[in-house]
Amino acid sequence: MTAEEAETAARMFKALGDPVRLRLFSAVASHEGGEACVCDISDVGVSQPTVSHHLKKLKEAGLLTSERRGTWVYYRVEPSVLAAMGKLLAPSAAA
């Protein structure tokens, strides 16, 4: 594993390395249709700006995408990225 590969992958793991972000991500991933409105998942015990901040981090890490539809903003998981991370965690099956 090269230093560059490690940089890229570590950014994604790091994004999931916060309990609030992990819960937000899990909530989006397990929501119906694979997407969720912010209002559906923002009950994680922190303030609204903090939720927004964490969703932005997940987006910057490439784990989520967002789309505004009228009043609400919907977040959705990026499946290809998930698969790549999963392979890193299953070296016996992937390498």
Q: Given the rule CB under 8 A, which residues bind a second copy?
A: 1, 3, 6-7, 9-11, 13-23, 26-27, 29-30, 44-45, 82, 85-86, 88-91, 95
Residues 19-58 that bind DNA (CB under 7 A): 19-21, 37-39, 42, 46-57
Q: What are the residues whose beta carbons fall under 8 Å from the beta carbon of 94, sequence distance 6 or more?
A: 87, 88
1 binds, options a second copy, DNA, none, Cβ within 5 to 8 A by partner type = a second copy
Inter-helix orientation angle 48-60/19-30, to 10°: 80
For the bound state, the minimum distance from the C-beta of residue 93 to DNA, rounded and expressed in Å, comes to: 27
State in angstroms the smallest separation of the CB of 14 from DNA. Answer: 7
Q: Which residues pair with 76 in a beta bridge?
A: 35, 65
Contact 75, 39 (CB under 8 A): no
